[in-house]
Amino acid sequence: MAMSATRLLVLGVVRASGRAHGYQVRRELLTWGAEQWASVKPGSVYHALRQLLKGGMLRGAGVEESGEGPERTVFELTGSGEEEFVRLLSKALSDASAKPEFFGAGITFLPCQSRRRVIRLLRSRLAGLEDEQASLRSLLAEDAAPPAKPEHVWELFRSWVVAGDAAVSFTRELIERLENGAYTMAGEGAAVFGEPGWVPPADTGSESGAGG
């Protein structure tokens, strides 16, 4: 799932920028702290760019001169890339089994969909989480530990219940905030975070970066 998170983040940065080279994408993700919460490493960014280019979701859009090293290939989304971005974003926000880094990538680009659609996606996630919690609680209600499992294994199940309760609470509260008008979402005015036309901070760094 980490690769799905990286693909979504890379597509999202290129989409928001209109055109971007590898170092620009990497730098933007580092400013978001994605290396910590989404396990995005420099190599994974360039690998994702190559795979997305190979898969027809990105295309080369020229080169950019660099005073610090080789020319940098500039990328832009194709129609297939836009479809993949929407697909991954929708899955990240709706799938109750999404890993934290993938859900985090979805939250990052939350404003890139309409308010109504995001609420619908999150309701799907909430329903899945509630089903999972019901199953876990049913398991905990049993009198005996699972066959061939030591008694303390219950603590593992309890930790899942606690984490699941937190996920349910967060998702429910986020839905309520969105229903009450929180945040500026796609279609509600000027370009919002992550939408084409949104301008990331200026690139002031320097790095030659293989493939970037």
Q: Where are the domains of the chain?
A: 2-104, 115-179
Asked whether residue 210 carries a pLDDT value surpassing 90, the answer given is no
Bigger pLDDT: 203 vs 178: 178
Distance between CA atoms of residues 81 and 90, nearest Å: 14
Provide the CA 132 distance to its chain's centre, in angstroms. 22
CB 77 within 8 A of CB 85: yes
Residue 3 has which token pair? 């690769």
Count of alpha carbons within 13 angstroms of residue 144, beta-carbon side: 4
Specify the pLDDT at position 153.
Answer: 80
Residue 168 has which token pair? 């349910």
Distance between CA atoms of residues 122 and 137, nearest Å: 22
Specify the pLDDT at position 148.
Answer: 63
Asked whether residue 199 carries a pLDDT value surpassing 70, the answer given is no
Out of 3.40.50.20, 1.20.1250.20, 1.10.10.10, 2.60.40.60, the CATH code matching 2-104 is 1.10.10.10
pLDDT grade, residue 207 (50/70/90)? very low
Specify the pLDDT at position 110.
Answer: 96
What are the b/e assignments for 173-183, b being 16+ CB within 10 Å? ebbeebeeeee
- Other Cβ atoms closer than 10 A to 140: 12
Mean pLDDT of 61-78: 79
Distance between CA atoms of residues 106 and 205, nearest Å: 27
- Say how many Å lie between the first and final Cα of the chain, rounded: 24
What pTM value is reported for the model?
A: 0.86
% pLDDT > 70, the chain: 86
Distance between CA atoms of residues 1 and 100, nearest Å: 9
Query: Please, what is the average pLDDT of the chain?
Result: 87
Whats the size of the chain, residue-wise?
A: 212
> For the segment 133-156, what is each residue's pLDDT rounded down to a tens digit?
998 888 777 755 566 667 788 888
- DSSP-based three-state secondary structure for 34: helix
